[in-house]
Amino acid sequence: MLQPGIKGHHEQTVTPAMSAARVGSGLVDVFATPMLVALVEQTCYESVLPHLDEGQGTVGTLVNVSHTSATPIGRRVWCDSELVEVDRRRLVFRVKAYDEAGPIGEGTHERFVIDTAKFMEKLKSKN
């Protein structure tokens, strides 16, 4: 059952493939903002997965995250999340991201609970 208070944590090491220069969001070899967003989404998704019914998943719908400090290649980064609101199928998370030197970002992320089969069937109508 989904209730506020569910916490998540995910960490990874920044690789050259995660750099702003590589993903097209800048010219420097630092942890890219789009990769920070991906870290946030993965952390939140994984945190609620054990609490979903069979056949359910979640999709990200809103990200409001500041990226306040650069992280060099080779450093460890992590995100901590907390589910702070459940409004029927809408889930709101508070997120904070860090590297080994301290905070690198924070904000909120929203996801919606979906019935995966119905979602994919509806998606077919877009073709």
Active-site residue, from 10, 41, 43, 58: 41
Locate 48 and state its tokens. Answer: 């609620």
41 assigned to active site = yes
Active-site residue, from 11, 33, 46, 116: 33
Q: How far is CA 65 from CA 42, 93, 126, in A?
A: 14, 11, 30
33-81 tens-digit pLDDT: 999 999 999 999 999 999 999 999 999 999 999 999 999 999 999 999 9
Q: What's residue 74's pLDDT?
A: 98
13 assigned to active site = no
Q: What is the rounded distance in angstroms from the CA atom of residue 104 to the CA atom of residue 106?
A: 7
Q: What is the rounded distance in angstroms from the CA atom of residue 118 to the CA atom of residue 126?
A: 14
pTM, rounded to two decimals: 0.95
Residue 4 per-residue DSSP state: T
Residue range 13-25: average pLDDT?
Answer: 97
Active-site residue, from 43, 58, 67, 110: 67
Q: What's residue 2's pLDDT?
A: 95
**Percent of the chain predicted with pLDDT > 70:** 100
75-96 tens-digit pLDDT: 999 999 999 999 999 999 999 9
Residue type, 75: R
Domain ranges of the chain: 7-124
CB 35 within 8 A of CB 70: no
Top CATH class of 7-124 equals: alpha beta
